Amino acid sequence: MIMTNEAKTGDDLTMPVASMIDVAIIEDERDIRECLTFLISGTEGYSCTGSYRSMEEALDKIEHQLPNIVLSDIGLPGMDGIAGIRILKERYPDLLILMLTVYDDDERIFDAMCAGASGYLLKKTPPAKLLESLKEAVGGGAPMSPEVARRVITLFREIRPPERADYQLTPHETRLLKLFVEGHIYKTAAVELGVSVNTVNFHVRNIYEKLQVHTRSEAVAKALVNRLV
């Protein structure tokens, strides 16, 4: 790993930070693993609780001395990093995981985040920033390399559910539609709203007209797909 640039110092985070940050490392390349181990062991306030070359090894031995946070590569022999962190999070839900990898493609970023990673750094990250990111993650943040943060936001924009379509539903219509989405039928919705079934009927016809549908199911589908409620 090429060490470049000066280290950052962290800002104050609201979550209490453990006085000692215990880190486990999962990295298949020996020289990188050793380098990381040296960096973490040699920095005040940090300790290295384990240093593994595979996810299998980590899963096998990590419980002997559970860290606050795992620093894991994605490309590993055998089980890959993402599959591994799913299992880690399953076994130790409070365990924090920070990815440290060369991969910066959307899919891996996405999968890692969804699998439970708290942060995602690229391997070119300078040592000082790496240490700071560990601290930030332990403090409740979600450190990402600039390129990763950019991709996350781009993905965000792409994934974003469509803006709420505006069908000009009145407050009562929206409320009734919401009840339908929740599984109510005319009768129970009427009870819930404190009105008669005839009133529900009235609103229903307006809703169906505005949404251009003819059944409650269609209205429910449209409400969910278009995020109307």
The residues near 211 (Cβ < 8 Å, ≥ 6 apart) are 167, 218, 219, 222, 223
Strand extents, DSSP E, the chain: 21-26, 46-52, 69-72, 96-101, 119-122
Binding partner of residue 155 among a second copy, DNA, none, CB under 5 to 8 Å per kind? a second copy
Question: Hey, is 32 helix, strand or coil?
Answer: helix
Query: Which structure tokens are listed for 173?
Result: 């219509």
Q: Rule CB under 7 A: is residue 172 a binding residue for DNA?
A: yes
Contacts (Cβ under 8 Å, ≥6 apart) of 77: 28, 53, 54
CA dihedral 188, 191, 193, 195 (to 10 degrees): 120
**Min. distance of Cβ 53 from a second copy in angstroms?**
27
When binding is defined by CB under 7 A, the residue of 214, 224, 225, 227 that contacts DNA is 214
Structure token digits, residue 109: 């970023």
Task: Give residues 98-157 in contact with a second copy (rule: CB under 8 A).
Answer: 110, 113-114, 118-119, 125-126, 129, 132, 136, 139-144, 146-147, 149-150, 152-153, 155-157
Residue 59 interacts with, from DNA, a second copy, none (CB under 5-8 Å by kind) = none
Question: Candidates 30-38, 41-49, 72-80, 182-190 — which segment interacts with a second copy by CB under 8 A?
Answer: 182-190
CA separation for the pair 17, 155 (Å, rounded): 30
Going across the sheet that includes 21-26, the strands are 46-52, 21-26, 69-72, 96-101, 119-122
Helix (H, G, I), strand (E, B) or coil at 196: coil
Stretch that binds a second copy, among 6-14, 39-47, 58-66, 89-97 (CB under 8 A): 6-14
- Least distance in Å: CB of 83 to a second copy? 13
CB of 159 to DNA, least distance (A): 30
In the complex, the smallest distance separating the C-beta of residue 176 from DNA, rounded to whole angstroms, is 8
Closer residue to a second copy, CB minimum distance, 57 or 149: 149
Residues that bind DNA (CB under 7 A): 168, 170-173, 185-187, 193-199, 201-205, 208, 214-217
Residues that bind a second copy (CB under 8 A): 4-14, 110, 113-114, 118-119, 125-126, 129, 132, 136, 139-144, 146-147, 149-150, 152-153, 155-157, 159-161, 180-183, 185, 213-218, 220-221, 224-225
